[in-house]
Structure 1
Amino acid sequence: MTNQGSYLVVTTTHDDETKARELATAVVQERLAACAQVYPISSVYWWDGEVQSGAEWRVDFKTRADLGNRLTTFIGEQHSYDTPEIIAVPVVTGSPSYLEWITAETTD
């Protein structure tokens, strides 16, 4: 394992599986992330003055830290939510070969 601080997992959510998968595909096609994982979740959140809940689809993108701002902007432009969740978490450690793969697949 290696400690690299130059990688991120960027997360967003969607209320529709098809939209989530379309966003995942668009991001990977743009080479802003090496891969995206789409999976169902149940969310509870404050919105419009009350607690709401619902099924959503979470998308986790694996990318380089230097692409974080571009990826965040791209997600925001493509997203249908008024205020989409876009959160980046640094990768503290990871297998060198996997991190090298992320670099190779996100090269401009």
Structure 2
Amino acid sequence: MKKSGCIAIFTACPTEKEAERIAGELIKKKLIACANMIRGARSIFRWKGHIERTGETLLIMKSLKKNFSRIDRAIRDLHSYEVPEIVSFSIDEVSSDYLKWIKESVR
């Protein structure tokens, strides 16, 4: 199977407004092709010795693997969290039309 070269990048934001701002900036810079914002995510995690529970907006972005380091830097610059979640997953299979659109949408 040929690798698509596409990735999905996840980050969780404290507000929908912040998620939209980050997505907008990354699209403007042609680092990502698109983003999905999912409100109402609930997170539980350990932070500085305490168990934290919070509501967040999950941001799922699609791009090409070659852009990950620039996306990582941009999210760190734009995100309000001290240590934002920035993870990517390879997309093994993708429709040819969607792959073409992603490649045309990013640089």
The TM tier, using the shorter chain, reads: over 0.9
* Shift, 1:68, TM fit: 0.8
Q: Which runs of 4 or more aligned residues in structure 1 lie more than 4 Å from their structure 2 counterparts after TM superposition?
A: none
Counterpart amino acid of residue 66 in structure 2: D
- What's 1:100 paired with? 100
2:37 maps to which residue? 38
Specify every segment of 5 or more residues in structure 1 that has no aligned partner in the other structure, as ranges: none
Residue identity matched to 2:80: S
SS of 1:60 mapped into structure 2: strand
1:52 matched residue in structure 2: 52
- Aligned twin of 2:15: 16
The alignment of Structure 1 onto Structure 2 pairs a total of residues equal to 106
Give the superposition deviation at 1:50.
1.7
8 Å CA contact retained: 2:8, 2:90: yes
Q: Distance in 1 between matches of 2:63 and 2:3?
A: 12
Identity, in percent, stands at: 25
Q: What TM-score results when the alignment is normalised by the length of structure 2?
A: 0.93
In structure 2, stretches of 5+ residues that fail to align are none
